[in-house]
Structure 1
Amino acid sequence: MKNDIYNKIGGILINSSPNDSKKIIAKIEISESNDVGTYTFNSTDFFDKSESYRPISQARDDLFSAMLELKKYTIDNNLTNGNPIWVGCIVTVDIENAKINIEFKYEPFIEE
């Protein structure tokens, strides 16, 4: 189940990134009330040029839903070990090597 959610997140990011992306880094924060998301998106192309981009709103909405699904999965399966749930994460998708990494954050980290 968790892998399905990770695959969904990776697919959303890949499908909404610039066509020449080889690596995507998305920073995602979700409000404590689970009703607002804050995002930054960066992609690296085959020339190692990094740039920020903004996916269409549907992709951001889909990503937000997938992140809420991941939070629910984490809570429902008691994966917090009694600690507070994470507030966001940094998702790195390595398109070339078909790998995804999610680093969970427990304090706000995106500056507006």
Structure 2
Amino acid sequence: MTDQEIYQKIGQLLVDAGPLGAKTIVVRAEIFPEGDGGKYEFDYIDDTCELNWFDPDGRAVGDLTELLVKLRKYFITNELTAGIGIWSGCEICLAVEKMKLSVEFIYDVQDRMLD
């Protein structure tokens, strides 16, 4: 599976798991080093530009974890770490109507979560 296929699956998963009326979905994720889970925060912006949170079902969280672990393995296998090590978390932003996905990788999650 290519990285683009993984990104497409992440986007579709978020559309399916997100609330109706969400214009933008934002996910903050920290993946455990073992790849067996993670910590997540799910937010969305509705058509009135109000920020809210949502709680997707457990299957969606498990599927997202699996996709992020595959993406991380893709980075390692294809030597895309740029010598700074592998990322341990990310912030995913999906503009639902445009199906535009952006991912910002986080390399030092523990320090960020303490802020």
Same fold (TM over 0.5): yes
Structure 1 residue runs of 5 or longer lacking an equivalent are none
State the 1:85 CA deviation.
Answer: 0.2
| TM-score, L = length of structure 1 | 0.94
Structure 1 runs of 4+ with >3 Å offset: none
Equivalence map 1:1-112=2 (5 Å): 1-108=2-109, 109-110=112-113
For these two proteins, the number of residue pairs brought into alignment is 111
| TM-score, L = length of structure 2 | 0.91
Code of the aligned partner of 1:92: C
Q: Distance in 1 between matches of 2:5 and 2:29?
A: 19
Q: Is the 8 A contact 1:29 1:89 kept in 2?
A: yes
Structure 2 residue runs of 5 or longer lacking an equivalent are none
Q: Distance in 2 between matches of 1:51 and 1:110?
A: 20
- CA deviations on 1:3-39 (whole Å, 9 max, x unpaired) are 1100111111111010110100000101122222000
Q: Percent identity?
A: 33
Determine helix, strand or coil for the equivalent of 1:43.
Answer: strand
Q: Is the 8 A contact 2:11 2:99 kept in 1?
A: no
Q: Is the 8 A contact 1:38 1:110 kept in 2?
A: no
Code of the aligned partner of 2:61: R
Q: Distance in 1 between matches of 2:70 and 2:34?
A: 14
Q: Is the 8 A contact 2:18 2:25 kept in 1?
A: yes
Code of the aligned partner of 2:12: G
Determine helix, strand or coil for the equivalent of 1:103.
Answer: strand
CA RMSD of aligned residues (A): 1.1
Q: Distance in 1 between matches of 2:68 and 2:75?
A: 10
